[in-house]
Every structure is written in C-alpha cells, then in structure tokens.
Amino acid sequence: MSKAEENDLPGKAWDIRVDQLMRKANASQQVARDFVILEWLLKGDTVPFTAFVIQGHSPSVEIIRYVALMMNPAKGTDEIVPYALEVSSRGRKGRRPDPEIEVRGKLTAQYVERLMKEGKSYDEALFEVAEVLGEGFDSDIPRDTTEKDYKRYKSKP
C-alpha cells in the first residue's frame, strides 16, 4: 500500500464502517453516517453520533427522533429502543433545577402584578391568584407559595 493510501485510511471504527458502506453499498456519506449512528445507538453507544455531529454532520430526522426516544422512552418501546439516555449530575450537588417551577413562578408574579395594576391590593391579588391556580388541582395553592413566587420573580423597577 502506498503512503498516500495509508493516510486515507479512517482511524476510528465508525469511520471505517462508514467507508465500508460507501464503497460496498454505494451509499452517500450522509446515509452511511446515519446508518452507523443508528447501528451503534441500537447497541447503546452514542460515540459515533457525538463524533459525527462535532465534525459538522447533520443527522437525519429519523436519527434525531430515535435519540429523543432514548432520552424519554415511552412505555412499551423496549424492543425499539433497548437503551435509554439518562441525565446525571456532573459535580453539582442536590437535585437539578426544574424549569417548570421557574416558568410557573414567573407567570404567577406577572399575574399578581397585573391585578395590582388594575387596582387590587397586594393581599387581594395574592389571594385571587392562589385561588385561580388552585382550581386545576385537588388542593388549593397556598397563598404563601404565591407570595414566594411573586417576591422571587416580580419585575425589577
């Protein structure tokens, strides 16, 4: 083998597999990479996905959907998605922040602010918002929870 041909050899196993598919199956690089990504994901390995994306590869919609299913597998999909991806902490202590809580808190603060601009007192606004938010639940949202959300997320003057 000539020196030029040696330098053309892919170095990683997934690159070798892509090269094989392109040569033997006459597949495009895009199709070959997607095939290899899926092949490895089905075996629980995300490295080719990461490597190809870092190199600028845009996986097909099917690959993106499969990764989404791995992140949030639905019940009964064990055969289709044999491995799940789970979020884990990397050096951070305690539980991870819940973005839903922040969104609800900000909405609560905005609602209280709007009612006060309409002329309601602070206590009336808090009570009304707590009452409205509690309608969709089995129990009432405590007024103090509404007040904490308001104080944390109110608009800064």
For residues 151-157, give the mean pLDDT: 81
The pTM for the full model equals 0.66
Q: pLDDT by residue (tens digit) across 72-91?
A: 988 888 888 999 998 877 77
Question: What pLDDT, on the 0 to 100 scale, is given for residue 135?
Answer: 59
Say yes or no to pLDDT of 126 above 60: yes
The answer on pLDDT for 107 being more than 50 is: yes
Every domain of the chain and the residues it spans: 11-71, 99-153
> Would you state the pLDDT for residue 4?
43
CA–CA dist 70, 63 (Å, integer): 11
> What is the pLDDT at residue 134?
72
For the residues 55-61, what does the mean pLDDT come to?
97
Residue 6: band (very low, low, confident or very high) from pLDDT cuts 50, 70, 90: very low
pLDDT of residue 157: 62
Confidence at residue 5, expressed as pLDDT on a 0 to 100 scale: 47
The mean of the pLDDT values for the chain is 86
- HEC per residue, the chain: CCHHHHHCCCCCHHHHHHHHHHHHCCCCHHHHHHHHHHHHHCCCCCHHHHHHHHCCCCCCHHHHHHHHHHHCCCCCCCCCCCCCCCCCCCCCCCCCCCHHHHHHHHHHHHHHHHHHHCCCCHHHHHHHHHHHHHCCCCCCCCHHHHHHHHHHHCCCC
